[in-house]
Amino acid sequence: MTKSKKAIYTIILAIALTAAGVSSCTTAQSSAADYNADLLSTAGANYWMASVDNPVTATTPDGFRVTLIGSGLPKLDLDKIGPSFLVEYKDTKIMVDCGYEAMTGLMKAGINPSSLTNLLLTHQHADHNADFTAFFIGGWDGQLGRRELNMAGPNMSDLYNAVIGFYGTDLDYRINVVGSPGDGIYTNVSIKDLIENTESFEIDGIKISAIPVPHTIKNYAYKFEAGGQTIVMTGDMTYNEDIIDFAAGADIVVIDALQAADFSDIPEAARAKVRQNLSKSHIRNEQIAEIAARAQMKTLVLTHWAGAMTLQNSIDLYREAGYKGEVVKGIDGMVVEPIK
C-alpha cells in the first residue's frame, strides 16, 4: 500500500470509528482496559484520570482511593510533579508528601489546598517536602483558608519551626494587617514526630500505622486501614523484609519504583553505574518483584520512576516471580481505587 493510500485509509477509519461512537483517544474517565494499549496497567486495575474538568472532588468514595498528585523525581521535570499523594477514605482526605509543584497538582485535580487539614511526610528530602511552605501558608492564608492542621512525619517539628521562624514577619503581617486568624498556623496545629520503630495513630477513625524503612535518612512507610480495606505508601526505600508483612494483602500499595525505569534518557554506557549508585537508596525492580510475590497486594502502583518505562517488562518480571495482582504505571493525576 502506498503512503497516500495509507493516509486515505487512516482518515476513512477515523471517520468510521467516530460515526460508531468509538474514540481513538482516551477520555478523562476511561476504564483501565482503554489505557492498556498505552501500557499504563494490567487489565483488571481500577483507575481514572482526574482533571479540572473531571475533579476528584466531584465524587466521594465509599471506601479508600489514592490520587497521584505527583509521581516525579528530585530532577525537575515539566511533565512531572514531585512526589505527592492524596489518600481519601469517604469524607476524610490525607495528603502524603508534598513535593515541588504539589499545590499546582492539587488544583489541576480540582482540589483546593485549603480543604486539606491532614499531612503526612514519609521523610524530609526536598523532592518530598519542597512545596510544604506553599501548602502550609497558602492553604491557610485569607478568610477562606484552613483553620486547623494535623501533621505527622519524622522531624516534622523541625520543618514547622524552620518555616515559622523564617516567615514569622510575613505571617504576622497576614494576621495583623490582612486579618487572617492565627488558627491553622500558630494555633490549632497538631504535630506528631515519628521516632519509634512502630507508630500508630488515628485520623477520623482511620487506623494509621507507620514503620521505618531503609533510605538515606529516616523514612516511614504508612498503612491506612478502615472499612476492611488497606492502603500502603512506602515512600523511598531499599529492600527490606518488614515491608512484606506490612503490605501483605493490601488493596493498594504505592511503591518506590525509581529503578523500574529503563533509564533510556541517559547514555547507555552510564546506565549500569547509575543503577549501582541508586541501589544504595532505592529498591531494585527484581526486589519489587519479590516483595509483590510474597505480599500479594491486590494492586501495585509504581511511582517515582525515572526516564522511560515499558510497563510490560515489569509485569513480566513480577509474574515470573509469582505475583498475581494488578500493576499500574503511576502518572500524575491518576486516581486509583480498590478492585471491586
pLDDT at 307: 77
Report the pLDDT averaged over residues 180-199.
96
pLDDT tens, residue by residue, 31-81: 333 333 368 999 999 999 999 999 999 999 999 999 999 999 888 888 899
Q: Are 282 and 276 in contact (CB under 8 A)?
A: no
Per DSSP, the residues of 219-277 read EEEEEEEETTEEEEE--S----SHHHHHHTT-SEEEEE-TBTS--TTS-HHHHHHHHHH
Residue located via cell numbers 544504595: 280
pLDDT tens, residue by residue, 119-149: 999 999 999 999 999 999 999 999 999 999 9
Q: Answer yes or no: is pLDDT of 226 > 90.
A: yes
pLDDT at 272: 86
- pLDDT confidence band for 262 (50 / 70 / 90): confident
pLDDT tens, residue by residue, 99-116: 999 999 999 999 999 999
Report the pLDDT averaged over residues 75-90.
94
Cell readout for 20 is 460508531
pLDDT at 73: 87
Residues shown for the chain? 340
pLDDT at 79: 87
Q: Answer yes or no: is pLDDT of 14 > 80.
A: no
pLDDT at 74: 85
pLDDT tens, residue by residue, 268-307: 888 888 888 989 999 999 999 999 999 999 999 999 987 7
* Dihedral sign for Cα atoms in the order 163, 128, 136, 119: negative
pLDDT at 33: 37
If you average pLDDT over every residue of the chain, what do you get? 89
Q: Answer yes or no: is pLDDT of 12 > 60.
A: no
Of 94, 92, 102, 106, whose CA–CA distance to 51 is shortest? 106
Q: Are 252 and 298 in contact (CB under 8 A)?
A: yes
pLDDT at 38: 62
Report the pLDDT averaged over residues 226-253.
98
Of 297, 171, 289, whose CA–CA distance to 233 is shortest? 297
User: What's this model's pTM, rounded to 2 decimal places?
Assistant: 0.87
Q: Are 328 and 301 in contact (CB under 8 A)?
A: yes
Q: Answer yes or no: is pLDDT of 16 > 90.
A: no
CA distances from 169 to 122, 130, 184 (A): 29, 21, 17
SS3 content of the chain, % helix, strand, coil (to 5): 30, 25, 45
Q: Answer yes or no: is pLDDT of 339 > 50.
A: yes
pLDDT at 35: 34
